[in-house]
Chain A
Amino acid sequence: MANRMSLDREGGRWGVVDGHCHLGAAGEEPARSELLSEMDARGVDRAVICPTERYIAVYNREGNDYIMEAVRSHPRRFIGFATVNPWYGDGAIEELERSIRSGLKGLKLHPFLQGFHLTHEVARPIVEACAALGIPVYVHTGTPISSMPFQLAELARGFPEVPFIMGHMGHSDFWRDTVPAASRSENIYLETSLVAVSLIRNAFERLGAGRLIFGSDVPRSSLACELEKVRAIEMSEEERRKVFGENLLSLLDRR
């Protein structure tokens, strides 16, 4: 894999990567400086950042521009994910390609905010573009009726070459589906924010550390609380490195 990012060993510890944060535009929270100081305070070296609500739903270009600018300012701290609403059709694909050319590393989809079903044909061209670009797709899950784990698994079956990150592991009410759905496709990874530690532990035991990606969902959740939650799971140092960064980094720059 060309240009694969490495997880640096700095100061005698492995750097933690937060696999899922939102960054507000100007005047919205969390401000870039707040997120960076929180990362510093908690020992998080890098964070995946993606736009917030309105930018996910409709103002994709503005949201992506803001993420690009943040990445340009802090290239060693931020990994940017773009978002596009599939209903924009060709425009969505053009915006995705523009974002990736400009240095963003993945796609964030939010079927509930963006008003589509993962099994709707409108989603397919976007995922085909992700396959061509060699980028992972982070999908919010847990919100019925459009973003449930088995809907993601259905989509993932059709694109075995695309890595999908199951955001929040189906939290709140689809936690029973998480492991069975992820068991169907090797290309599904589970992101740990919001969900109960017992369910992450169960997924770790059933699927292994190679399928888990630590994420905080800041500002919806607290970085400190999310870190402490996942750190409480007993695992080897090697497994911990996977969960807290290596798995996510291995999905980037796959072309």
Chain B
Amino acid sequence: MSGATVVDAHCHMSGLDLPSAEKFILELRRRGVSRAVISTAGGFHDWDYSRENDLLSAASRRAPEVFIPFCTVNPHRGRAAVSELRRSVEKLGMRGLKLHPPRQSFSVFHPYIDEIIDEASGLGVPVLFHDGTPPLSTPLQICDLAENHRDALIILGHSGLNDLWRDAIAGAERLDNVILCTCATPFIAIRRMVERLGADRVVYGSDASDGNPSVVDFNLNKVRALEIGEEDKARILGLNILRILNLLD
């Protein structure tokens, strides 16, 4: 087993109480995961997502050495979404923005999405997108957004999933502000993206949550099974996402 520090770039928290957080930390540690980017699980459906951002940031403050919280906002709220993003980063200390177009029922061509992405890039935080799910979040739809916002850093949270990973790699090849996350992406696609883009553009993620930590194993094993050097593996397993988030010591 690789001795690299493992940071999971794609996790969720459903229970925002202390026991749930502690249980999740134990489950992650048991699997060799030191830190995890967490975003809401149920909050994508909340119109009042600011409360969810409050709760998530409070939960992660209990274990700041483990949890790296990402906020969420909904473009349907217009300017309120932009100011909530600013509040979440500046006041709550959240490190990124997570958007889930299908669950939040918005198109990436929503009139307010540009302001939100600009705000994220102005704040210096990445935007982690759920992707791979037509019709609202295909990789190339999101890459079009990345092309319009070259200062923003966009993470494709699933790199196209099982059907659209070729699109994700094609988009990321053109756009150096697009990062690919290995979560639920088939092994062949992970191999291909590392070959085509290099290890610096790929981050490990699992979609694990406190309620469903066991998906870490399969997703982590896929990255560990890559036939690449240990240094490159260490980048994918954790160093890249820490660098993106300015968390490297």
> Using a CB–CB distance below 8 Å, which chain A residues touch chain B?
112, 142-144, 168, 171-173, 194, 196-198, 201, 217, 219-222, 224-226, 228-229, 232
Partner of B225, one of A194, A217, A224: A224
Chain B, interface SS category: loop
A222 → chain B, closest Cβ, in Å? 5
A201 CA to B215 CA in the complex, in Å? 11
Question: Contact: B187 with A222, CB < 8 Å?
Answer: yes
Contact, CB under 8 Å: A221 / B214: no
Contact of B214 among A168, A198, A224 (CB under 8 A): A198
Query: Which residues of B have CB within 8 Å of A197?
Result: 214-215, 217-218
Number of interface residues of B (CB under 8 A): 20
B222 at the interface (CB under 8 A from A): yes
In the complex, which of the residues B133, B158, B161, B218 contacts A229, with contact meaning CB atoms closer than 8 Å? B218
Task: Flag if B212 contacts A198 (CB, 8 Å).
Answer: yes
Interface residue ranges, B against A (CB under 8 Å): 132-134, 158, 161-163, 184, 186-188, 207, 212, 214-215, 217-218, 221-222, 225
Q: Determine the distance from Cα of A37 to Cα of B23 in the docked complex, in whole angstroms.
A: 40
User: Which residue of the partner chain A has the closest CB to B221?
Assistant: A225
B162 cross-chain contacts in A, Cβ below 8 A:
142-143, 168, 171-172, 194
CB distance from B223 to the nearest CB of A (A): 10
Contact, CB under 8 Å: B163 / A225? no
Once the chains are docked, how many angstroms separate the CA of A147 from the CA of B217?
Answer: 28
With contact pairs A222-B225, A224-B225, A228-B221 given, residues A173 and B188 touching in the complex (Cβ less than 8 Å): no
A222 touching B214 by the CB < 8 A rule?
A: no
- Distance from A60 Cβ to chain B, minimum over Cβ atoms (Å): 22
Shortest B116–chain A CB gap in Å is 24
